[in-house]
Amino acid sequence: MAPEVCLCQGEGPLSCGACCGLYNVEDPGREALSRLLAQRTLEFAAVPRETRAILGFGQRSAALAGETRPFPNFHHCPFLGLVGGGQRAGCLLHPLGQGNNGMDWRGLSHHGGLACHLYFCPSHRLLSPLRRKIVLAAAGDWHLLGLVAPEHAMLAAFFKSVEEFLGRPLPESVLGRPSFLKAVSEFFGLRRKNPWQERGAHARLVNYFFHDQEYENPKVDYAGLGAPVSRHDAVFRALSVTFGRREELQEAERFLDALAERAAREAAGVSSGCQNSFPITGDRIVG
């Protein structure tokens, strides 16, 4: 059964198509993907709802995405389009899709209707309902949600840091604190662009989050840096960054600590008045 807080399809602009290979295209940026999904949606609206026509559309649609993919052995579903009135990414074959009249055409997809219906990424099992709610509230749109929702290890590491600074588990009330959600959203934004990309570190937008280890993110060489494994290692792995010097690693750790502390202060209703620039004192927030 689907969990009570679903990251797959939400309200308004929120959805996640990562498991469908949404980002496994040559240009996974928001603008390029939006154009691709919009074109598919428009063309699919004119496709007769019968098997041969839908399969033909799938072949043409796959060609639109191009042959260059970050993960050649991972699928990109050609039936991904825009749903919810064009607000978010989703399945054009779903029975609730426009023009499908309640008919489920997902059996024509690459993995078949059963996989489409039953698969949920590990975040559904491993993130608490509150943390899933925070992810939905802070993501803002389908493109960013799909980049962060499958990254359960990265999310768990960040929320753990926030709660360590807070000194207690995050309360449900944080969902009503825009300043807290803004801090979390800025952390999420590191999946699109992070400070270490600009310094020549290896980084990529797309991640392969399945556990068959076919495409692994690079690991930080802590031994080579003469440093212990970082408390933020899961974040660095999700961001696919490495460091050439120990000082770069330490600066990155301070950056993430500052962001986590800011989120904790906002969760407690104690604004720091700073944007990732205040020093980490090691104190915990009481309130």
102 and 49 co-located in one domain: yes
**178-188 vs 246-268: helix crossing angle, rounded to 10:** 160
Instruction: State whether 86 and 203 are in the same domain.
Output: no
Q: Evaluate whether residue 40 is within a structural domain.
A: yes
Secondary structure, 3-state, 55-85:
HHHHHHHHHHCCCCCCCCCCCCCCCEEEECC
Q: Give 140-183 as a DSSP string.
A: -SHHHHHHHTT-HHHHHHHHHHHHHHHTSPPPGGGGG-HHHHHH
Residues 81 and 171 in one domain: no
Q: Both 69 and 32 in a single domain?
A: yes
Do residues 105 and 187 both lie within one domain? no
Tell me: do 68 and 47 sit in the same domain. Answer: yes
Do residues 193 and 76 both lie within one domain? Answer: no
* 26 and 72 belong to one structural domain: yes
Q: Is residue 280 part of a domain?
A: no
What pTM value is reported for the model? 0.87
Chain mean position to CA 61 = 24
Distance separating alpha carbons of residues 93 and 106, to the nearest angstrom = 5
Number of domains the chain is built from: 2
Amino acid at 142: W
- Is residue 3 one of the residues assigned to a domain? no
Domain contains 204: yes
pLDDT in tens, the chain (287 residues): 445 788 998 889 999 999 999 999 988 999 999 999 999 999 999 999 999 999 999 999 988 887 788 888 888 999 999 999 999 999 999 998 889 999 999 999 888 878 887 888 888 889 999 999 999 999 999 999 999 999 999 999 999 999 999 999 999 999 999 999 999 999 999 998 888 864 444 446 778 777 777 788 889 999 999 999 999 999 999 998 889 999 999 999 999 999 999 999 999 986 544 444 333 333 444 33
Note whether 201 and 249 are same-domain residues.
Answer: yes
State which residues form the domain around 30: 18-120
> Is 281 within the bounds of a domain?
no
